[in-house]
């Protein structure tokens, strides 16, 4: 099977912290992310060997994908011990990011155009500042990539289990305003 594509934005954006990006650079990252989203999710599903069928329950599907993703995250190819703490490798980071994109894609499909992508520009103290978020929820916006990576670290620490992506989906689905 082809190698898992690493999560590498355009080079000029990698050379500085996202908090230091200009609005133009933040939009460039969002455009890159959205342009690669479908391909990354498609590859993820093939890699995990969890095809999505038309009438399949979304929660069951995300549980299956999460179980396989969590198993991979625990392998040395996807995480390593650094000073007694586990850390994601580049492949682990990409896998976790792609799981976040999978959840985002499903939420967008279920939202009936009530949620959309935007670059978070305020407040500057927000952890997701300058990053693409999904907005339109009743409470806060969702930054699916960073949130998924944080949950992957929870799996490595033994604080979360493989159902975390299903739980993310259920929580955020409930935050979509009703018709």
Q: Show me where the domains of the chain are located.
A: 11-174
Average pLDDT across the chain, whole number: 92
- Output 62-68 pairs: Cβ under 8 A, ≥24 positions apart: 62/102, 62/103, 62/106, 62/165, 62/166, 62/169, 63/162, 63/163, 63/166, 65/99, 65/102, 65/165, 66/99, 66/162, 66/163, 66/164, 66/165, 66/166, 67/162
Whole-prediction pTM value? 0.94
pLDDT at 72 over 80: yes
The percentage of residues in the chain with a pLDDT greater than 70, rounded to a whole number, is 98
Task: Identify the band that residue 78 occupies on the pLDDT scale cut at 50, 70 and 90.
Answer: very high
């Amino acid at each position: 099977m082809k190698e898992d594509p690493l999560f590498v934005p355009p080079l000029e954006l990698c050379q500085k912290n996202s908090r230091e990006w200009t609005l133009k650079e933040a939009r460039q990252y969002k455009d890159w992310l959205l342009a690669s989203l479908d391909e990354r999710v498609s590859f993820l599903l093939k890699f995990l060997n969890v095809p999505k069928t038309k009438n399949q329950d979304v929660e069951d599907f995300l549980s299956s994908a999460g179980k396989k993703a969590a198993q991979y995250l625990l392998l040395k190819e996807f995480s390593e011990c650094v000073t007694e703490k586990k850390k994601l490798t580049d492949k682990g980071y990409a896998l976790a990011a792609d799981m976040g994109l999978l959840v985002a894609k499903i939420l967008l499909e279920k939202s009936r155009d009530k949620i959309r992508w935007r670059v978070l520009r305020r407040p500057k103290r927000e952890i997701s500042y300058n990053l693409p978020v999904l907005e339109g929820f009743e409470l806060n916006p969702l930054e699916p990539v960073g949130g998924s990576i944080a949950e992957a670290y929870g799996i490595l620490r033994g604080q979360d289990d493989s159902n975390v992506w299903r739980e993310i989906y259920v929580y955020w689905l409930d935050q979509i305003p009703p018709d």
